[in-house]
Amino acid sequence: MNKEEALKKIGLKITELRERKNITQQELAYRCDFEKSNMSRIEKGKTNLTIGTLLKICEALNVKLIDLVNLE
């Protein structure tokens, strides 16, 4: 799996978890202190993610890091 595929899979996982918890993209962005446009790019796999960014998203969704990065 290349970097682009991994970013897309992580983005889809974030979207799936967010929707399962009935949180809007705008609300998740607010909880993470991101712009909505940044959250949109993250969910589409269009931006590189740092550990700090992933941890903010995990905290906002109340999930573990492994829940986002386990791509199997």
Cα separation values, 22 from 18, 48, 52, Å:
6, 25, 24
The answer to whether residue 12 is domain-embedded is yes
Q: Which two tokens stand for residue 2?
A: 């290349």
Would 30 be classed as within a structural domain?
Answer: yes
Q: pLDDT tier at 46 (50, 70, 90 boundaries)?
A: very high
Q: Is residue 11 part of a domain?
A: yes
pTM score, two decimals?
0.92
The number of domains in the chain is: 1
Mean pLDDT in residue range 36-65: 96
How many angstroms separate the Cα of 56 from the Cα of each of 5, 66, 72?
A: 22, 13, 22
Residue at 56 is within a domain: yes
Over residues 16-21, the mean pLDDT reads 97
- Residue 1 confidence (pLDDT): 87
Quick one: pLDDT at residue 15? 98
Any domain includes 69? no
Q: Is residue 53 part of a domain?
A: yes
For 14, the token pair is 């974030």
Say which CATH number the domain at 54 has: 1.10.260.40
Q: Indicate if the pLDDT at residue 32 is higher than 90.
A: yes
Query: Is residue 46 one of the residues assigned to a domain?
Result: yes
Range of the domain at 21: 3-62
Q: Whole-angstrom Cα distance, residue 68 to residue 57?
A: 9
Q: Provide the terminal-to-terminal Cα distance of the chain, rounded to the nearest Å.
A: 11
